[in-house]
Structure 1
Amino acid sequence: MTDTTRFTGHAALITGAARGIGAATAARLAEEGARVLLTDADPDAAARTAGALRARGLTVRARACDVTDRAAVEAAVAYAVETFGTLDVLVNNAYACSPDAPRFEDEPDDSWARDLDATLTGAYRCCRAALPHLAASGHGAIVSVGSVNGVQDFGNHAYSAAKAGLASLTRTLAGHAGPRGVRVNLVVPGTVRTTAWEGRDAELAAVRRLYPLGRVGEPADIAAAVAFLASRDAAWVTGATLVVDGGLTAVHAGFRQAVRAAGDAPR
């Protein structure tokens, strides 16, 4: 059962909140009592998501925010503090992911820069702008959304490097922010059924077989992990990486399947 009081009196800002993991996290925190600012580079989609949540009686606002723009980030943080009177939680969920070139030597500079700017530097900008307010709240928390791509090779060079960078930023910022009363943690999802996978049901079905728990993730799975790390239930957790991947990186399902197939093959 969801605790509907863990975030009562708290305010949260979520980037990339128009859909998928960001939208599910906004819903989860708001359901638990938070006042939530949904930000996204797509303001119309953010407004639609916020409207749907308000129709359920939840306290949410929406605002356009491109995390590659320092001024936009600082304005969004200022708006959250002005609107809610505090800022207690920051969730870094915005990202960019460019397809790889067939050969690494043909990778263009612009796609590399775009992925790192939105995924890693964008989180840095948000943390920098929010940290003084999170410290002032007395119980501030930052949760960034990483990826198994930052742990193992699943393709997407720039996106993966940026997600790996988030893990390092989580550790270094935890050391800096801890004495200021702010906790900093990272959630590492595996494959999650979001709009990025729309129209790719065959691929999802194939990927599902690699997960020991027998399914891919849902946005709500990640939202629950973010809510835990942002809440008082994780009051003594900082600098941590919480892997939420259905066992993908713990168990080499492909290896097991290959061994079984070889053992069952006629000789």
Structure 2
Amino acid sequence: MTPPRFHGYAALVTGAGQGIGAATAHRLAAEGASVLVTDLDGARAERTAAAIREAGGTAEPLACDVGDRAAVDTAVAHAVTAFGRLDVLVNNAYAHHDDAPLFEDEDDDSWAHTLDITLTGPYRCSRAALPHLVASGRGAIVSIGSVNGEQDFGGHAYSAAKSGLASLTRTLAGHAGPRGVRVNLVAPGTVRTGAWAGRDDALKRAAGLYPLGRIGEPEDIASAVAFLASADAAWITGTTLRVDGGLLGVNTGFRRAMAGESGSAG
């Protein structure tokens, strides 16, 4: 019988207490990886890890603030100590704040915090993990970007951070490739996570703008992460994989407008 795709692998997933991070941790564990589930909220991390263990997987929880270098270094060291190695890093943790009505009223602290967690956080995590990923001989970094990094969907700081993360993916891929580590990014469209809680009407409207007729689920993104982290993607690095239901490739709203149909953005 063929062993699971991540048999013998160890992975660290940030922001894994809920949403895309939790789904990714579950997916990697279901395919054989030992997973360090990290989250700013330690209780959320524990719940995800417990659910993975209940399902027969291997997982440990750890509270980790990716805005704190010491906490990041501790998390990477914890993964290596607990599992004996580190093969996969998934940079999923992010921060977001609502735009001010006028750009000139944007707040410096909110801007800085969003960039620090969303862009500099993956930088800290990748820096700490890289020597261990090199040592594994099959290391992979997969970061979670966004369609916001490629097109305007609002969110000045968040979009700038995600665009920067795509650039970091490319430059780090060039640096790490000769050392045997692949670096890629998944760019999701609208995904049903806690960030959309209480906004079901907006999600329903948004679904109509997707060529595939629905918004994404966390598991859709986890599947793409698992592919890029695995040996199935052994000759892929420095790429951005859009997992967006066709949003950026097909302008559904425009097509409907030209056909005389109604449609509005969510």
**TM-score grouping bracket, smaller chain normalisation:** over 0.9
Instruction: Please tell me whether the aligned partners of residues 4 and 31 of structure 1 are also in contact (alpha carbons under 8 angstroms).
Output: no
Instruction: Note the C-alpha offset of 1:53.
Output: 1.2
2:182 and 2:104 map into 1 onto residues whose CA distance is 39
Q: Indicate the SS of the match to 2:215.
A: coil
Provide closer, same or farther for how the CA distance between residues 84 and 106 of structure 1 changes in structure 2, counting only shifts above 3 A: same
The residue correspondences of 1:44-63 to structure 2 (distance < 5 A) are 44-63=43-62
The residue correspondences of 1:74-223 to structure 2 (distance < 5 A) are 74-223=73-222
Instruction: Please tell me whether the aligned partners of residues 7 and 32 of structure 1 are also in contact (alpha carbons under 8 angstroms).
Output: yes
Instruction: Note the C-alpha offset of 1:246.
Output: 0.1
Sequence identity percentage:
71
5+ long unaligned stretches in structure 2: none
The superposition leaves residues 74-121 of structure 1 with CA deviations (integer Å, 9 ceiling, x where unpaired) of 000000000000000000000001000000000000110010000000
The one-letter amino acid of 1:166's match is: L
The superposition leaves residues 117-155 of structure 1 with CA deviations (integer Å, 9 ceiling, x where unpaired) of 000000000000000000000000000000000000000
Task: Please list every run of at least 4 consecutive aligned residues from structure 1 whose deviation after the TM superposition is greater than 2 angstroms.
Answer: none
1:24 and 1:262 map into 2 onto residues whose CA distance is 36
The superposition leaves residues 139-191 of structure 1 with CA deviations (integer Å, 9 ceiling, x where unpaired) of 00000000000000000000000000010000000000001100000000000
TM-score (norm 2): 0.97
Please give the root-mean-square deviation of Cα atoms over the aligned residues, in Å: 1.1
In the other structure, the counterpart of 2:231 is 232
5+ long unaligned stretches in structure 1: none
In the other structure, the counterpart of 2:259 is 260
2:76 and 2:87 map into 1 onto residues whose CA distance is 11
Instruction: Note the C-alpha offset of 1:44.
Output: 0.5
For these two proteins, the number of residue pairs brought into alignment is 261
Instruction: Note the C-alpha offset of 1:52.
Output: 1.3
The one-letter amino acid of 2:85's match is: T
Instruction: Note the C-alpha offset of 1:4.
Output: 6.3
TM-score (norm 1): 0.96
2:30 and 2:128 map into 1 onto residues whose CA distance is 26
The one-letter amino acid of 1:60's match is: A
